[in-house]
A and B are shown apart, each in its own frame.
Chain A
Amino acid sequence: MTAIDSSHSATSSSGSIATRSTLLGTIAAYLTASDHKRIGRLLISISAIFAIATAIEGAILGIERISPSSSIVDADIIVQLFSALRFDLIFSVAAPMMLGLAVAVVPMQVGARALAFARSAMFGFYLWLFGVILVGTSYLNNGGPGGGNAEMVDLFLVGLGLVIAGLLLISTSVATTVLASRRAGMTLIETPIFSWSALVASVSMLLTLPVVAGAIIYVAVDHAYERATFGATEGVNAWIGWAFTTPQIFIVAIPTLGVLAQIVATMTRGKQPLRAGLLVGVGLMSTAVIGAVTQSSHTVSFSGSASDVLKSLIPYLFFNHLSILGVFIVLGLSLLALKNERAKLNAAFVPAFLGVGMVLTGMIGGAIFKITNLKLANTVFEEAVLVYVCYGAVLSGIGAVAYFGPRIWGREIPSAPVIGLGLLGFLATVLASLPYFIAGFADQPASIANNFDYSGPIWLWNSLVGAGHALMALVVLLFFAIATKSFRSGTISSATSADLFESVNG
């Protein structure tokens, strides 16, 4: 008899205990994580999974609209699918992906040892995830805005409230890290441009999301008790719908400017020309906050007297075009920096640049949408704007993971697939959106899949949109697989932490 029992049963038993304890340990580690890289990875990964699901949803809706006289999806769930697409693009994909990047990267950039109030950010992540699950459950059971099941509509409102609370907690954590945890000697003006964009986006969310929450409280109380003041289930869209459209959606895309400027600034290895202009450009994009909190659409009409036109033109320009000017400034200064002879192309630049291009196209589309003479209201034009901005954010997210990933997780990601997927993602975004810009002018109605008609190749536009969404699902899936494999077993990265900063002083 020996002191060590090497029998098979003992080994397997202890093995299973070890496995169990490892599994429990992993679960416990994820539940109580305070490491910013882990929290960021969770947000990015889960929003990428939701991006695939959302793109499939978009593909189904595109296919459904190819032939308005026949349907492949039950007519009762079409309303839910349209509403779910809008919710998912903003609150399940773009916002958490951008905040996840900020959580993972900002503490390293500002030289902080940890994310400020990291457990609060982790709690925010779980609130957001639980909220998205509740919203999904509500949609699956005839809930959501305009849903037929009143209890599920209530569940939707609760879920949306939780999503907002979660995003608020994460935003607070990111903004506090930039403001309170910078290393000694780093002034706010010297903060790396991505961290600056994360700060601007976080503060913008902190100012606009409570306004959505205020509307949700009124609608939820009314829906639970009276169902008259705010228009019962149909009123949900009327009072909260602004949170799913322009200019609120521009706020979630603010970090895309930071990603591009950061990549360009470190690619050139020189002093960023007019760096303060970059900070101003990112800040200008946040003027979308002013338009969002008014909870109304600032349109312009070019008919009537000159004074009438002027009366609507000034608020229209102020609320819609200032943020576009910010994107132009950042794009212009980034391209100016690329004139540096020492500039060396980084693969991540391709998706990041194309992502900002898509966001800009969506923003210009949003401004065109608000010219009432064009009669684009209630057409699919608005859906195209939303898809341009949110898929632009996804493309930018791909660029950011490719660029920051090796610096965070220590392993390289191959350049060729990043460039290839960036180009494919660009094609997917254009296919999923551009046809609806055209179909919008041809009066294809929004949120309707059957019984509509207009002069034009209906089948062509809708087939292209369906194909675009399907291609985007494939792009995100492939990038997710490549990134996971590379960061687990890829070659050791030679990137240094210095690559996380742009040169401030030349």
Chain B
Amino acid sequence: MNTSATALGAGPSVVMRRPALIVSGFLSAVSAMLIGSMLAIWLDFRSNAPLRESTEGGKMLRDWLPENIKIPEVATNTMMMTFVITCVMAQWAVYSSRRNDSKHTSLALSVVLLTEIALVNAQLAVYSQMGIGVRDGSYMTMFYAVTATMLVIIVVCMGFTLLALFRSIAGRAGDRDLVSAHALYCYAVSAIFAALWFVVYVQK
């Protein structure tokens, strides 16, 4: 008779259901709620601003954007277009990753990184061209708060891109989950910026 004890069998294997993609989804939601809440407060202040007569006369405007401030629309519109390029490149990385094409994945992620650096540069150029101080009034304080928070989100996205790029360069061509998660975050950041661009730079 066999009396030896036998160890319990291993439990069922755990299926990790794309955790990077899920975390990226949560990160996107957090970023969207953050900027969304800031834009809501921005809109609240703007709609409650007192009325003043337009410089062209006859027309009453909300006294929100100070008359001496000019928004550099070329730079801000370029930022919006750059985000479109970022999304296309991020999707190219996903496409290449699905085909285990390490070279194209790395190339696509490098271009994404380049566009993100361009976005940071463009935002700094906007600050420089506007030449306003954070202490100069309500609009300026809130402008710096909301755009600097967006800048931090872009920098977080840049960190995500660097992580995916390093892993791709290191030879993890089949790292599809991370590359897809990166692409999802890029789309989310682009959508968030589109909302900010429309409220702050277009509607002013």
CB atoms of B141 and A116 under 8 A apart: no
In the assembled complex, A477 has its CB within 8 A of some CB on chain B = no
Q: In the complex, what's the smallest C-beta–C-beta distance from B3 to chain A, in angstroms?
A: 24
Give a binary string over A28-58; 1 marks a CB under 8 Å from any B CB, 0 the rest. Answer: 0000000000000000000000000000000
Alpha-carbon separation in the docked complex, A27 to B40 (Å): 44
Main secondary structure of the interface of B (DSSP, over half): helix
Q: Which of chain B's residues 4-61 have a Cβ closer than 8 Å to chain A?
A: 11-19, 22-23, 26-27, 29-31, 33-38, 40-41, 45
With A176-B26, A215-B41 as given contacts, are A229 and B19 in contact (CB-CB < 8 Å)? no
Contacts of B11 in A (CB 8 A): 111, 183
Q: Does B135 contact A (CB under 8 A)?
A: yes
**Assembled-state Cα–Cα distance A179/B15 (Å):** 11
Contacts of B18 in A (CB 8 A): 180
* Residues of chain A with a CB closer than 8 A to B138's CB: 226, 228-229
CB contacts under 8 Å to A, within B135-171, are 135, 137-138, 141-142, 144-146, 149
Interface flags, A87-110, vs B, CB<8A=1, else 0 = 000000000000000000000000
- Assess the A176–B34 pair: CB atoms within 8 A: no
B145 touches A113 (CB 8 A): no
Q: Is B134 an interface residue (CB 8 A)?
A: yes
Contact (Cβ within 8 A) A207 B33: yes
A111 near B14 (CB under 8 angstroms)?
yes
Complex partner residue of A179 from B22, B29, B31, CB under 8 angstroms: B22
Classify chain B: how many residues form its interface, as a range. 35 or more
> In the complex, are the beta carbons of B141 and A184 less than 8 A apart?
no
Q: Which of A180, A185, A222 contacts B12 (CB 8 A)?
A: A185
Shortest C-beta distance, A40 to chain B (Å), equals: 19
Asked if A346 CB lies within 8 Å of chain B CBs, one says: no
Are B33 and A225 in contact, CB atoms less than 8 angstroms apart?
Answer: no
Contact of A180 among B16, B27, B37 (CB under 8 A): B16
A177 CB, nearest partner CB in chain B, Å = 9
Taking a contact as CB atoms under 8 Å apart, the answer to whether B14 and A210 are in contact is no
Asked whether, in the complex, the Cβ of A218 is within 8 Å of the Cβ of B14, the reply is no
State which residues 193-208 of A face B: CB under 8 Å. 206-208
Q: Are B141 and A168 in contact (CB under 8 A)?
A: no
Q: Is the CB of A112 within 8 A of B14?
A: yes
The reply to whether B135 and A211 contact each other, CB–CB distance below 8 Å, is no
Please give the distance in Å from B202's CB to the nearest CB on chain A: 21
Q: Are A229 and B142 in contact (CB under 8 A)?
A: yes
Tell me whether A213 and B144 are in contact (CB under 8 A).
no
Bound CA–CA A111/B13 (angstroms): 9
User: By the criterion CB–CB under 8 Å, are A218 and B142 in contact?
Assistant: yes
**Nearest CB of chain A from residue B106's CB, rounded to whole Å:** 25
Q: Which of A218, A225, A295 contacts B135 (CB 8 A)?
A: A225
CB distance from B129 to the nearest CB of A (A): 21
How many Å lie between the Cα of A117 and that of B141 in the bound state?
36
Q: Mark A112-142, 1 if CB is under 8 A from B, else 0.
A: 1100110000000000000000000000000
Nearest chain B CB to A205 CB, angstrom units:
10
A180-B19 in contact (CB<8A): yes
**The residue from B13, B35, B37 contacting A215, defined by CB atoms under 8 A apart:** B37
> Are A217 and B19 touching (Cβ within 8 A)?
no
User: Contacting B141 at CB < 8 Å: which of A182, A207, A208, A222?
Assistant: A222
Chain A residue nearest in CB terms to B32: A210
Q: Is the CB of B145 within 8 A of A181?
A: no
A238 to chain B, nearest CB (A): 12
Q: Is A379 an interface residue (CB 8 A)?
A: no
B41 touches A172 (CB 8 A): no
Instruction: Output the nearest chain B residue to A112 by Cβ-Cβ distance.
Output: B14
Contacts of B137 in A (CB 8 A): 226
Q: Which residues of B contact A228 (CB under 8 A)?
A: 138
Is B141 in contact with A226, judged by CB distance below 8 angstroms? yes
Task: Report the nearest A residue to B30, measured CB to CB.
Answer: A210
Task: For B149, list chain A residues within 8 Å (CB).
Answer: 214, 217
Tell me, in angstroms, the Cα distance from A172 to B36 when the chains sit together: 19
When distances are taken between beta carbons in the complex, the residues of chain B under 8 Å from A112 are: 14
A431 within 8 A of B: no
- Tell me whether A10 is interfacial, beta carbon within 8 Å: no
Whether a CB of chain B sits under 8 angstroms from the CB of A293 is yes
Q: In the complex, which residues of chain B have a beta carbon less than 8 angstroms from the beta carbon of A208?
A: 33
Q: Contact string, A213-243, partner B, CB cutoff 8 A, digits 1/0?
A: 1110110011001101100000000000000
- A175 is an interface residue with CB less than 8 A from chain B: yes
Give the nearest-CB partner of A229 in chain B: B138
Q: Are B33 and A221 in contact (CB under 8 A)?
A: no
Q: Which residues of B contact A117 (CB under 8 A)?
A: 19, 23
A221 engages B38 (CB within 8 Å):
no
A182-B15, A225-B141 known; A293+B134 contact, CB < 8 A: no
Mask of A329-349 contacts with B, CB within 8 angstroms, 1/0: 000000000000000000000
Docked complex Cα distance between A442 and B45 (Å): 37
Are B26's CB and A175's CB within 8 A? yes
Docked pose: A225 CA to B134 CA in angstroms: 7
Partner of B37, one of A113, A182, A214: A214
A222 to B40, CA, bound (A): 17
Q: How far is the CB of A165 from chain B (nearest CB, A)?
A: 10
CA distance A293 to B144 in the complex (A): 23
Residues of B within 8 A of A180 (CB): 16-19, 22
Within 8 Å CB of A183, what residues of B?
Answer: 11-15
A-side contacts of B12, CB under 8 Å:
111, 183-185
A206 and B13 alpha carbons, distance in the complex (Å): 29
Chain A, Cβ-Cβ closest to B23: A176
Question: Considering the complex of A and B, which 4 residue pairs feature the smallest CB-CB distances, nearest first?
Answer: A214-B37, A210-B33, A211-B37, A210-B34
**Contact sample, A vs B, 8 pairs, CB 8 Å cutoff:** A184-B12, A210-B33, A211-B34, A211-B37, A218-B146, A222-B141, A226-B141, A295-B40
Extra A-B contacts (10), CB below 8 Å, given A172-B27, A218-B38, A226-B137: A175-B22, A206-B26, A210-B34, A210-B37, A211-B37, A214-B37, A221-B144, A222-B141, A222-B142, A225-B134
